[in-house]
Amino acid sequence: MQKQQPSDVNVLQVALISENAPRDKIQYYAEKLQDELEKVPSLKEVKIHGLPDQQVRIELALDKLSQMQITSSAVTMALQNEMVNIPGGAIDAGNRSFNIKTSGTYGSIEEIGNTIVYSINGKNILLKDVAKVYYGYEDEKYATRLNGHRCVMVSAAQKTGENISKTQELYKPVIAKFKTTLPQNIDAIQFFDQADAVNMRLGGLGKDFVIAILLVAITLLPLGQRPALIVMISIPLSLSIGIMLLNLFGYNLNQLSIVGLVVALGLLVDDSIVVVENIERWMLEGHSRLEATLKATQQIGLAVVGCTAALIIAFIPRYLCPKAPVISSAACHWQ
């Protein structure tokens, strides 16, 4: 279980697909795409998935070791001894003293192959004489597939406070340009784009807004144009105030806040209809507009506030644990 922030979630994922390209070639283009995406100012944590780390592999020729009567443990010990960092003393130069430390780090694969692993009859046996030394990859811990095809994935998250629509305008041309550099046996497919999901949810919010206006019109117009007009004006006004308050307190408009606005929109419409209809009922009983408004609001005001408070209380635990492990939260900031 890890603590995460909404901005740690990936906003885009690209798959490099190939059934016959060698692994080092796919790695080259994956790292190339990684470098290009890291140049986008609003992106962070550009990572490669499905590609094991490169390592040096040594395959011992057991028949040669047996002929020379060399054990595999002797080869292992020789390699370990070559990689030991041993202090070499110190050099005094006037008022200064410099410590000397020998470095046992290999600089190239040729140096590894030229390691002396055994000496017999005055002749040094090198590692390359009894083993095959080459660059390879670590054992795969998991496999990545897209629609059943072999692939390597590149993902990226968005920095906190950035506008995902503007971010999409920056990385879309980068990915399109990168595709033109790929060979014929490698294809790049962007199978996930969080910006599209944000735009879809914003479209859903607009749809709910229109439905709310129509619902108010159908329900309240029979009671009079004035009450219906007041409620219809209060809907966009309340949403505007809500978005302004989010910005004032430093919150971005993301998937969670959009869902909250949709819920609040539903409450606003329901409460408005209930209050207006109750005021109309008191007016039909012969009370004046002011008296009907006061009596109707006083009669159901506590119930309306209670319903809203119950919904707010349900979200308080989530608000009090802003750094709790995130189960479902997408970094899709939109301003």
Domain edges within the chain:
6-53+139-193, 55-137, 197-320
Q: How far apart are CA 240 and CA 243, in angstroms?
A: 5
The stretch 158-171 carries a mean pLDDT of 81
Predicted confidence (pLDDT) per residue in 26-62, tens digit? 888 988 998 888 888 888 888 888 877 777 778 888 8
Predicted confidence (pLDDT) per residue in 176-194, tens digit? 999 988 888 888 888 888 8
Predicted confidence (pLDDT) per residue in 99-116, tens digit? 665 555 777 777 777 778
pLDDT at 223 > cutoff 80: no
∠326-330-333 over CA atoms, to 5°? 125
55-137, CATH topology level: 3.30.2090
Predicted confidence (pLDDT) per residue in 123-149, tens digit? 888 878 888 887 776 776 777 888 888
Question: Residue 324's pLDDT is what?
Answer: 43
CB atoms near residue 233 (< 10 Å): 10
In terms of Cβ atoms closer than 10 Å to its own Cβ (0-12, 13-18, 19+), residue 299 is middle
Crossing angle of the two packed helices 225-248 and 194-220, in degrees rounded to 10: 150
The confidence band for 334, taking pLDDT boundaries of 50, 70 and 90, is: very low
6-53+139-193, CATH topology level: Alpha-Beta Plaits (3.30.70)
pTM of the complete model:
0.56
Percent of the chain with pLDDT over 70: 80
